[in-house]
Chains A and B, each alone.
Chain A
Amino acid sequence: EAGVVQSPRYKIIEKKQPVAFWCNPISGHNTLYWYRQNLGQGPELLIRYENEEAVDDSQLPKDRFSAERLKGVDSTLKIQPAELGDSAVYLCASSNTANTEAFFGQGTRLTVV
């Protein structure tokens, strides 16, 4: 069974540029998460989806970050414009339901220069 797939694996952009990350969750998983992991830290939740509905986006910096999960399957996370402090690993995870095990993708490492 395929795991959570994220792309790209690495991205380097200049500050003020836009960037987008893509996530394909495990088939049949209704819950999808985006986490951000700063260097030397644990992941922190940005947003959680139940199907296509964002049910917890309290930690998402809405002035520059946006996310969507059209049709309740794939998801994209966008940053516009990017700032130096956005350099981090962006992790996508999915689970069957909110209270079951979350499976993580390999992440996208973003470097803003």
Chain B
Amino acid sequence: GDSVTQMEGPVTLSEEAFLTINCTYTATGYPSLFWYVQYPGEGLQLLLKATKADDKGSNKGFEATYRKETTSFHLEKGSVQVSDSAVYFCALSRMDSSYKLIFGSGTRLLVRP
């Protein structure tokens, strides 16, 4: 069945460091790919998405490129801020599974001043 694997955390960085959180997926067909973020005490929020191969999703300085050849959707940011500290979830959905979101286990990011 469909699945998402993302790197285990926590990831601890200093402010202004470069961030990469790895995400790979297993799915038949052509899923849409997502990154959700969960800030402390808040609900999940969509951060960015990509719906087809080679698409790049971007938002708030974060980027991820849909790589079908490596089945990956790694999240990157050039310069993290303390306010980026949160848990990040990679997810996929497919039209022929009723767009059900399949989530990875989440990666906690801690950014220190």
Contacts and interface: CB of A to CB of B under 8 A. Distances in A.
Interface in A60-113: 91, 93, 98-99, 101-107
B15 to A, nearest CB: 26
Contact of B103 (A4, A42, A55, A98): A42
Contacts of B57: none
Interface residues of B, number: 20
Interface residues of A, number: 23
A4 B43 contact: yes
A3 B100 contact: no
Interface SS of A by simple majority: loop
B98 A98 contact: yes
A72 B36 CA distance: 26
Given A42-B89, A42-B91, A45-B101, A91 B44 contact: yes
Interface of A: 3-4, 35, 40-45, 48, 55-56, 91, 93, 98-99, 101-107
Interface of B: 4, 36, 41-46, 49, 89, 91, 95, 98-101, 103-106
